[in-house]
Amino acid sequence: MLFILKEATSQMQLEHVRETIKLMGLEHHFVQDGKRMKLWVQNSNSEQNLQIEDLDQVDYSEEINVAYPLASRQVKNENSIVKIGDIEIGGDKACVIAGPCAVESREQLNEVAKELSQFGVPIFRGGAYKPRSSPYAFQGLKEEGLEYLAEVKAKYGLKIVTEVINAESLKHVEKVADILQIGSRNMQNFDLLKEVGKSKRPILLKRGMSATIQDFLMSAEYLLAQGNNQVILCERGIRTFETATRNTLDLNAVPLLKQLTHLPVIVDPSHGTGIRELVAPMAFAGLASGAHGITVEVHCKPEEALSDGMQSLTPKQFEKMYSKFNKLEAALK
Ligand code: PEP
Ligand code: MN
């Protein structure tokens, strides 16, 4: 049940409501939605609902019937903006994240980070822990990779997004990353979601390759339920009958997610296509569909990349795409 508090509720009155709900032993969350504070209460019975409604600070109540209340527009209608320093994801300006699929060596990382920082890319990506479909594929440099990410972060002033795969990696990743990535393969790793949801860092949640929109939003709900409300959703392509591309980038998901949730939505045209030549067109299409940004894989020598070389742009190709992307963004406004 959702209780909408009166606009003029003071901090002290809010504490009173909090104490009352706590005494009732109910799982609950306070959510700021514009000027209003809202209180979402889980599994309350009708008697408890009446008791809460009777509180002076409560204006009215609404029944919530979605499986992902905290992620839904019903509970929070105002767009959520995730802030990373002075960068905003979910606001008016589209955010561009770029970098290699994986951290492969100090030299590889420095080379590509230098180029991307010169283009003005604000957020740099690169996996140190790589959950691969094959156990024989490159699994990432792990802590050594994080060290190199920390170096380029300091050297080029880039914000860092990198993947976490379990509680152990979270301890290390949190020290370096500005955004924690949860990959497609782990989108329904519920124990991991619970752990990462406790972190204070923003989270980039990638859509599972076979996840429905509802599954995706319920995974986001796991993070929100732990108290982390800085969640960014990423459409990265889904499995379909089509094998000509690696995945089918589901751009329907972008406007649909924006309708259903207040969370920012970005698009990954690299994994969404698996084919370098398709990355720029689908990045543009993602922006046109309303995405709050993109994440793109870039490698100085894609043919030598230890993972996802086929879908990686060279810095030169990225620069061309980025400049067009910025023009398209201006034109769309
Ligand atoms: C990645 O971002 O490199 C990655 C592994 O993506 P996904 O989890 O979407 O496959
Ligand atoms: Mn990749």
Q: 197 and 307 share a domain?
A: yes
Contact 270, 312 (CB under 8 A): yes
Global pTM reads 0.98
Q: 168 and 36 share a domain?
A: no
162: tokens are 């990198």
Range of the domain at 51: 2-63
Report the separation in Å between the CA atom of 272 and the middle of ligand 1, taken as the mean of its atom positions.
10
pLDDT category of residue 116 using cuts at 50, 70 and 90: very high
CATH number at residue 34: 3.30.70
Q: 131 and 45 share a domain?
A: no
Q: Which bound ligand lies closest to the C-alpha atom of 302?
A: 2
Within a domain: 175 = yes
Q: What is the pLDDT of residues 250-279, one digit of tens each?
A: 999 999 999 999 999 999 999 999 999 999
Closest CA relative to residue 203, chosen from 211, 212, 193: 193
247 Cβ closer than 6 Å to some ligand 1 atom: no
96: tokens are 């561009």
The residue whose CA has the least distance to atom 6 of ligand 1 is 183
Number of compact structural domains in the chain: 2
The residue type of 205 is L
CA–CA dist 242, 247 (Å, integer): 8
Q: 58 and 90 share a domain?
A: no
Q: 161 and 12 share a domain?
A: no
Work out the percent of the chain whose per-residue pLDDT is above 70.
100
127 Cβ closer than 6 Å to some ligand 1 atom: yes
Q: Which bound ligand lies closest to the C-alpha atom of 183?
A: 1
Q: Is residue 182 packed enough to be buried (19+ CB in 10 Å), middle (13-18) or exposed (0-12)?
A: buried
Q: What is the pLDDT of residues 57-73, one digit of tens each?
A: 999 999 999 999 999 99
Within a domain: 48 = yes
Q: Tell me how many degrees the CA angle 164-170-175 measures, rounded to the nearest 5.
A: 110
- Report whether pLDDT(9) > 90: no
From 28, 63, 98, the end of a domain falls on: 63
